[in-house]
Structure 1
């Protein structure tokens, strides 16, 4: 198995990786739009948080050899009561033409403070693992 870590202290605490690849399957963990100290970016803006989180998830997948076109499933978790339309429009702009399976749902709580959105994605990698990944 190959993995990618973002350097988040939470990854160390919870013993997980931002993304993992086994064979050609790539899974990206719940990803939020946070700065390096864990503070939420774009407070109150679910569309901007979704865009940033998806770009970070795609970057982690790319380190494991998966391109945007390789993504087969996405999940968008929205804090209960968060306006959903901006989040799904951001997803649409990023994945138009790829059209992966998607689940979007409201959840009672997200762990990062002021975080409105977390995303996950799964892909079937078409390329090699980069030097950024560990095995």
Structure 2
């Protein structure tokens, strides 16, 4: 039996151009794409790793919530950091967001992102078995 697949989009031009969804739910699993701290006017909190991490985490959690996942359902996160990001600040934001949930996490330094972005966040959630 194949799991039902549902997608959620932020409605950005980039999502349409690149043919991807912000988040996808297949059965009980919700996967959130790399989420940057981007607002309608561009990158939010330029130069501020902590502010960007908090914003990206919040956006990723909102996308997961749109498909039925709550913070406590998150089982894995990934913090992707650009050169110049302060890893301690990204980890602090993650710790505040996921205290008591304690998902599996990997933090990476990557070559870079679009201008002014220091942090992207990915997450996976597993919804409770309702069967």
Q: Give the TM-score normalised by structure 2.
A: 0.92
State the alpha-carbon separation in 1 of the partners of residues 49 and 90 from structure 2: 6
User: Quick check: 1:66 aligned with 2:76?
Assistant: no
1:21 paired residue among 25, 28, 44: 25
Q: What's 1:95 paired with?
A: 98
How far off its partner does 1:127 sit? 9.0
Deviations 1:32-55 (A, max 9, x none): 111124x11000001110000000
1:86 paired residue among 86, 89, 104: 89
Q: Give the TM-score normalised by structure 1.
A: 0.89
Give the ranges of 4+ consecutive aligned residues of structure 1 lying more than 4 Å apart after TM superposition. none
State the alpha-carbon separation in 2 of the partners of residues 67 and 53 from structure 1: 16
- What RMSD over aligned residues (CA atoms) do the two structures have, in Å? 1.4
Contact 1:46 1:83 in 2 (8 A): yes
Contact 1:2 1:20 in 2 (8 A): yes
State the alpha-carbon separation in 2 of the partners of residues 127 and 56 from structure 1: 25
Count how many residue pairs are aligned between Structure 1 and Structure 2.
126
- Could you tell me which runs of 5 or more consecutive residues in structure 1 were left unpaired when the two chains were aligned: 129-135
